[in-house]
Amino acid sequence: MKTNRYLIETSVACLLWSGSIIACKISYGSIGPFTLGLMRFSLAAVIMLAMLAVTRDHDRPRGRDMAICAATGIVGTTLYFAGENYGALLLPASTSSLIIGAFPAITLALESAWDRTRPDGLKAAGIALAFVGVAVLAYGESSSGGSDVVLGGLALLGGGLCWAVYNLMMRPLLGKYSTTSITAWQTLFGALGFVPLVLLTEGLPTATPAPEALLSLAYLVLGCTVAGFILYNHSLKGLPASTAASFANLIPVFGLILSALILGEAITVPQHLGGSLVVAGIFLSARS
């Protein structure tokens, strides 16, 4: 029963995250990608720290564990979402969602290297197929989008590597502290990591964001960050990193649908082909 609960938690988290690219694209009309990250995670950190105070959860990581919280916050929040936000700025939402769908394969490969185990043939085939799908997506988009699309793809893939590292770095903290406590402190450190990025690239915002940008920010804070990360981090207590990460195959499926319905983005032939290969590769990896 507990395993089913963890599977449901990670599924709901990925469903919430499937709308994050759409929300980011809407916000970019009046908020820069790094400023959006700073606002999103600062607000989420305040909310989660308030939750700890209200529930009287004083189980705060200390010493080496707090250092791990800081490191996972920088890697899994600042670096990952800097890559995702910047990539989403340069790429169509549908393509961004499909590239994010390759992250489980990256996590599986890194987990195997970390644990010094060899993936079986089916897992290896799934990893290879997912990366072929990403290559097809990149080729199809670069033919019409130029260097910005290639840069956007590289930013997202770099973020995917950070996400894989984050999943493995979480291991020493799981089971020692409450999920809300771990997530709150990670989010705080991740928000602080955005400060130099904002100051060096975009500067502090001077204009009030548009109403639709504020609504999108609210969804990113409450849905994708507070609810999404608490659910996902709790699922890691009962699932291997590669299994939990494999549920990201829900993100491209719903991301494509949402980008077509909300943003009116057409789904191209390369996206159909590349997306099918990515999802098929992840499916193979998850089944083995």
The pLDDT value given to residue 220: 95
Q: What is the pLDDT of residues 81-112, one digit of tens each?
A: 888 878 877 877 667 766 776 777 777 778 77
Q: Model confidence at 71, in pLDDT bands (50, 70, 90)?
A: very high
The pLDDT value given to residue 68: 95
The pLDDT value given to residue 200: 92
Which of these, 11, 84, 70, lies nearest to 188 by C-alpha position?
70
Residue 89 and residue 33 in contact, taking contact as beta carbons nearer than 8 Å: yes
Length of the chain in residues, anyone?
Answer: 288
**pLDDT at residue 287 is higher than 70:** no
Greatest mean pLDDT among 25-34, 63-72, 248-257, 268-277 lies in: 63-72
Q: Model confidence at 1, in pLDDT bands (50, 70, 90)?
A: low
**Average pLDDT of the chain, as a whole number:** 81
The pLDDT value given to residue 216: 93
Q: Model confidence at 214, in pLDDT bands (50, 70, 90)?
A: very high
Which of these, 141, 210, 214, 130, lies nearest to 164 by C-alpha position?
130
Say what the pTM is: 0.77
Mean pLDDT of 155-167: 88
Greatest mean pLDDT among 49-53, 102-106, 123-127 lies in: 49-53
The pLDDT value given to residue 65: 93
Give the burial class of 56: count Cβ atoms within 10 A of its Cβ; 0-12 exposed, 13-18 middle, 19 or more buried: exposed
